[in-house]
């Protein structure tokens, strides 16, 4: 999608701080980190959110990317959280599907 910031970052039209990448997915650091590890896993193709008929292959690639990010960031054993804000009530601000991968500290027990 032409005016989508995550389309541009995931496809290197705009460069970012990448942690992992493959044919379907890019993972890069959130510009406003909420934890020592805060990486966004994003499909290269545009989907508005998790309920936008996302192909199973893309979801599998995103799950694989989460694992790669967790390994690269050293949080795979200590634990981490994956969040997909979806729609207005969740406060989704970028309308391109993305999963936040948060870790590197104890995240507490609030909001799951
Ligand atoms: P949300 O839509 O609320 O799930 O969060 C969007 C996140 O995307 C927010 O934590 C900030 C981040 N973000 C927005 N624009 C950019 C950008 O241009 N670069 C990077 N690295 N992160 C961005």
Letter string b/e over residues 55-89, b meaning 16 or more CB atoms within 10 A of that residue's CB: eeebbebbeebbebbbeebebeeeebbeeebeeee
> Total domain count for the chain?
1
Provide the 3-class DSSP secondary structure of residue 95: coil
Closest CA to 74 of 37, 27, 21: 37
Mutate to test the pocket of ligand 1, among 14, 40, 84, 88 (most ligand atoms within 8 A of CB): 40
Residues 19-75 pLDDT 10s: 999 999 999 999 999 999 999 999 999 999 999 999 999 999 999 999 999 999 999
Atom of ligand 1 lying closest to residue 38 CA: 10
* CATH number of residue 22's parent domain: 3.30.428.10
Domain that holds residue 62: 5-103
Does residue 110 fall inside a structural domain?
no
Does residue 108 fall inside a structural domain?
no
96 is catalytic: no
| pTM of the shown model | 0.97
> What is the CB neighbour count within 10 angstroms for residue 103?
22
Does residue 41 fall inside a structural domain?
yes
């Amino acid at each position: 999608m032409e005016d989508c910031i995550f389309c541009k970052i995931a496809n290197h039209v705009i460069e970012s701080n990448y942690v992992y990448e493959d044919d379907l997915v890019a993972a890069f650091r959130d510009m406003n980190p909420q934890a020592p590890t805060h990486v966004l896993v994003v499909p290269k193709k545009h989907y508005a959110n998790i309920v936008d008929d996302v192909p199973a292959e893309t979801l599998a690639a995103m799950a694989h990317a989460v694992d790669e990010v967790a390994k690269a960031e050293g949080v795979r054993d200590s634990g981490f959280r994956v969040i997909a804000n979806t729609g207005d009530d969740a406060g989704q601000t970028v309308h391109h599907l993305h999963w936040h991968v948060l870790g590197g500290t104890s995240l507490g027990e609030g909001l799951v």
